Amino acid sequence: MKYKTVKKLWLAAAILTTTTSLWTNVNAMETPAASGAGVIRALNEQRILSEQYALQQIQTGAGELAEGEATGEAEINDVAELSLGNAEEEMPAADQPELAVAIAPNYVNIRKEPSTEGEVLGKLYRNTVGVIEAAEEGWYYITSGSVSGYVSAEYVCVGEEARALAEEIGTQLARVTTTTLKVRTEASTDAAVLGLVPGGDILTVTETLDGWLKVDAEEGEGYVAADYVETYTEYPHAESIQEEAERLAREEAARRTAQEAEERRKEAEQQAAAQKKAAAKQSTNHTTAGNATSKASTSGNAASGNSGTAASASDAGLGRQIADYGLQFVGNPYVYGGTSLTNGADCSGFVQSVYRNFGINLPRTSGEQGACGSAVASLAEAQPGDLIWYSGHIGIYIGSGQIVHASSAKTGIKVSNAGYRTILSIRRIV
């Protein structure tokens, strides 16, 4: 296994040496004519592809070593740094896009033309970010989300101020670039393995360390080697007029559904209280001696029962009841496309079935569910029963920074740290 790894590393080094020498010779030439520019571009592209192939060979060799040996990360990282150090220095830094961040009290309109009379195409809400494509007097042409258009320069900040603000409001993410990545309890190859993350998965980065990233994983906070992820920043973006209309319609429908469910819940409580009172009267002893005692006992029990019911409803609320109901099914299987809380459900099927038990009908997919109800600003403001929506996934908040969700075929319905993935939205249904 080590022989294969060394062989691949030598191959990678040979490729890098060859392409670097070739590029040095090309750079030594006089400035080419227009017809020679294509040759230079082609050689440059070939050089980049060769370096990428070398990196792939090194990572493949590293992957072989890591799969078979639990303690191989430090050795792999050292070799990779030695092999690719010179190549990285030669690569030119990519141009950073010019950003515009909305500083209006609520939002700034994105218009079709650089005029206050221009058609409104969308809204760039406060502290959302756009990329500047062009500038005209008093206006910037930006792209943000699905919207491209003009915003007034008066209501956005640009330059260093925008970059600093964008860094504060953006979310740093890490995409796993190896087959399987170890999440450790500490930033060390000697630390215990907290969990494994498959290639392509995206983790939220909370802190950058020397060679390590602190991330939110499904099992909780952990550390991953920085060499095996690709980091980038995700910014909140604009909303088109059509997207806004669709969102408002969904929120209104969810609000009506929640209101109807609350009315049904109150009606059910009133009926239960009336039935309890009637049953208590029927069981009263009509004898003269026991009548007073029975009445006192019945009165006391009724008062105690009613008080307990009111306190329970007040303390828990419908959201708490929804969360507690969902927790009953922890350990049950995950089945893609399923909606059974006992025999198997996927993430959105689980959410839909839990809410349906309370008379609330939600859409079937996680994307549709993630647009229902009203938005909650942050996890700190989330309440039990709220929906926590991620890219392609959704769960129910149960409090204390945790969710209950149908996670995967391997783990089934389980409780996880709510921040184990990037939260796209928090929605309040009840």
Catalytic center residues: 347, 393, 405
Q: Where are the alpha helices (DSSP H) in 29-144?
A: 34-68, 73-90
Distance CA 228, CA 174 (A): 9
Distance CA 86, CA 82 (A): 8
Which residue type, as a one-letter code, is found at position 331? Answer: G
Distance CA 353, CA 343 (A): 12
What are the distances in angstroms from CA 318 to CA 119, 152, 267, 321? 43, 44, 14, 5
Is-contact 133 142, C-beta < 8 A?
yes
Is-contact 321 399, C-beta < 8 A?
no
- Residue linked to tokens 């990360």: 73
Half-sphere exposure of residue 136: CA atoms within 13 angstroms, side-chain side: 10
For the chain, the residue count is 430
What are the distances in angstroms from CA 418 to CA 174, 175, 186, 251, 384? 17, 18, 20, 23, 12
Percentages of the chain per state (helix, strand, coil), in multiples of 5: 45, 25, 25
Distance CA 273, CA 257 (A): 25
Give the other-Cβ count within 10 Å of 198's Cβ.
10
Residues 18, 24, 30, 36, Cα dihedral to 10°:
40
